[in-house]
Amino acid sequence: MEDFSGFYKLSVSERLAKVKKSAGLTDEEAKALSDSGALQLERADKTIENVIGAIHLPLGLATNFTINGKHFVIPMAVEEPSVIAAACRAAKQTLPEGFKADADEPIMIGQVQLTGIKDVAEASKNLALNRKEVLGIAAGHMKQHEKYGCGVRDFETKVLDTERGPMIIVDFLIAVGDAQGANMVNTVLENVAPSLAQLTGGRVRLRIVSNLATKRKARASAVWKKDIIGEETIAGVLDAYEFAKHDIYRCATHNKGIMNGIDAVALATGNDWRSVEAGAHAYASLGHYKPLTQYHKNEKGDLIGSIELPLALATVGPAVNSSPTAKIALKIMNVRGSKELAMGMCCVGLANNFAALSALATEGIQKGHMKLHARNIAMFAGALTPEETEAVAEELATEKNFDVEHAKQVLQKVRKM
């Protein structure tokens, strides 16, 4: 494994050369990264509708991650300064042990809605009596995927009493392998629905995958030792965690900090971050809205952090292939399938959350964040070269004055030097 210590000190070209060597990138792949992963308009036009162009986000690498004894560099696409730096710093503070993580078998839940049923009890009974037949019909539409470990595992039924009358919902549990699985699941539901209607005497309405993938969760944990981060930081993190547990306004921002990291990895690897967000916040809302992470002290007084959430991710499929950089990002990360990607993403979410809580509870979030954000302010104020940008940013950070008008004045002073 290539040594990535001091990676942030390298120039962009030096970083690219290092990751090219470490990940075994081809010249073409390296060029795609150096060209900012430019998405050709012809390709974009075949991906979505009414195309007029493409947008780009900075793509960086989170270093210092050791997960289950394996070293990772993790691609992150994000526009916000300090997110990647925070992940790197928090991960470094867990070394040499690093993170422990695991993930469930990639099983998605697909739902079929049946309405207008005259006798709900009899309909439910018919579904139970014909379970084998229903599963056989559903499985028949997964034959081509079985060689990848995919298949229909089971189904569950529930009755909803609504203002529109009683409804039967049939939840299918479908293993989707290394795919995100939505299209696979929806195809099965479309084809099995007519049989469900016949057995229940109901009318089929929705046939759709659920983004609350509670059968497809990932978990991670890490130890931050008091000798490294200090007892005051541990106390601050625990107090911040209790705040989030007992106040929904704080909890929303607590979980947003987790998703800063998770979404950035999802974007970098071509995954559906909207699905990931929906699943994470819905999971946090089961029972009542709560933090996705947990913190406590062990018997040595060290801080233990953990995270659990559903993550429906893909390392194969059309979505990943539609992005020029997604496959390269996965190659850099060197993950063995969607489960390992979920574990890595979980660890990044935990790292970003710890970093945010430790900063908030001690020196405040703005000190580190605004120091990095100063470069953006300098460019907004009119800095045109890297030298101007760094000079203005350095003075803004030294003076702790990040006002744009002040930045313009500093820029004029720099240009006269």
Question: Looking at the annotation, which residues are catalytic?
Answer: 80, 256, 272, 369
Q: Are 113 and 167 in contact (CB under 8 A)?
A: yes
Q: Are 153 and 107 in contact (CB under 8 A)?
A: yes
Q: Are 266 and 345 in contact (CB under 8 A)?
A: yes
d(Cα 113, Cα 160) in Å, to the nearest integer? 10
Identify the H or E element spanning 90.
helix 83-92
Query: Burial, 332: exposed, middle or buried (Cβ in 10 Å; 0-12, 13-18, 19+)?
Result: buried
Q: Which residue type occupies 124?
A: S
Q: Which residue type occupies 395?
A: E
d(Cα 349, Cα 341) in Å, to the nearest integer? 12
Structure tokens at 329: 């990002």
Place of tokens 């993190």: 237
d(Cα 261, Cα 208) in Å, to the nearest integer? 28
CA atoms within 13 A on the CB side of 229: 28
